[in-house]
Structure 1
Amino acid sequence: MNFDKSKFEKMKEELSKSCKNGDLLCICRYLYDNVPYYNWVGFYLVDGSRTLKLGPYVGEPTIHTRIAFGEGICGQAAETMKNFVVQDVSKEQNYLSCSPSVKSEIVIPLIKHGKIIGELDIDSHYLSPFDKKDEEFLGWICDYLVKEVNIN
């Protein structure tokens, strides 16, 4: 995978300008179009108590439109309110497969006032593409959404 992760700093500025008012679909499209190993990009939003509901996304359709807390990688991230970086999904017992093409996944929770309100989920068709720079960049996006555009 040949992608210069130093571009993430410039991408923060571009995202802030092009995806105004927390347009989640715009953010999904931007990430999908600009990072070659982000092969599915979407948001899950907390719907009621202890359930995630699929929000805007870009990539192949998924059957996982509702996920209980604790279920799969997304549900585990919601349950623990911690980032999950899975470099090889085939080694995870609690993985919900969306596509046989998916090899790895990163999930970053959106936390507001100590409660999870959603999460950013990215699947990749490559093994081990994610590192600390991805996690920091995606964390910045989630913080931006919670603080700057006041996503609920």
Structure 2
Amino acid sequence: MTFTSLKPQIENIISLTEKTVDTRLKHICELLELEIPHYNWVGFYFKNGDKNELKLGPYVGEPTDHTIIPFGKGICGQVAVSNKNFVVPDVAAQDNYIACSITVKAEIVIPIFVNGENIGQIDIDSNTPDPFTKDDERFLEFVCEKVATIL
């Protein structure tokens, strides 16, 4: 499955207005985890009200204890502060990495902006070392832009 062929499927999920936002986000997670072999955990984190922390939203993959992440902590918390994509080819080389599973080798986090404000992110863990390319990054930016339209 190529990123190009996944884009219409993402748009279709987004367009299912009879389904809740959380249901559509969960379907996106399921699609990405199923169709992209190096996506082993796919989830969304969102700003938790007025607090400087992220709260776990819909996801697929191994259960995680990291349901709340303070801004600045781990890869997700750093993206909440920097407002920039963060691609980690080797999580073991990151000082500020919050380990979710010993099987995770790499991570990519892309922020979601609504009206110019970083309100959340998509977070993907991979059990494959250094799997993420610029194509992954561009595709996930597309996903986040589409998700922003329903938030």
TM-score by length of 1: 0.91
Could you say what secondary structure the match of 1:61 adopts? coil
Equivalent position of 1:86 in the other structure: 88
Q: Give the deviation of 1:55 after TM superposition.
A: 0.5
Equivalent position of 2:38 in the other structure: 37
Match of 1:12 among 7, 21, 24: 7
Could you say what secondary structure the match of 1:96 adopts? coil
Alpha-carbon distance in structure 1 between the residues aligned to 2:142 and 2:84: 14
Equivalent position of 1:77 in the other structure: 79
Residues 15-66 of structure 1 show CA distances to partners (whole Å, capped at 9, x for unaligned) of: 2124534511000000000001100000001102211000000000011000
Could you say what secondary structure the match of 2:129 adopts? coil
Q: Give the deviation of 1:131 after TM superposition.
A: 0.6
AA aligned opposite 2:125: D
Alpha-carbon distance in structure 1 between the residues aligned to 2:13 and 2:124: 20
Runs of 4+ in structure 1 off by over 6 angstroms are: none
Equivalent position of 2:105 in the other structure: 103
Task: Quote the sequence identity (%).
Answer: 49
Question: Does 47-56 or 87-96 show the bigger shift?
Answer: 47-56
Alpha-carbon distance in structure 2 between the residues aligned to 1:10 and 1:18: 14
Question: Does 85-94 or 44-53 show the bigger shift?
Answer: 44-53
Q: Which consecutive residues of structure 1, in runs of 5 or more, have no partner in the other structure?
A: none
TM-score by length of 2: 0.91
Q: Give the deviation of 1:114 after TM superposition.
A: 2.2
Could you say what secondary structure the match of 1:74 adopts? helix
Alpha-carbon distance in structure 2 between the residues aligned to 1:32 and 1:124: 10
AA aligned opposite 1:45: F
AA aligned opposite 1:33: L
Q: What is the aligned residue count?
A: 144
Equivalent position of 1:123 in the other structure: 125
Question: Does 97-106 or 10-19 show the bigger shift?
Answer: 10-19
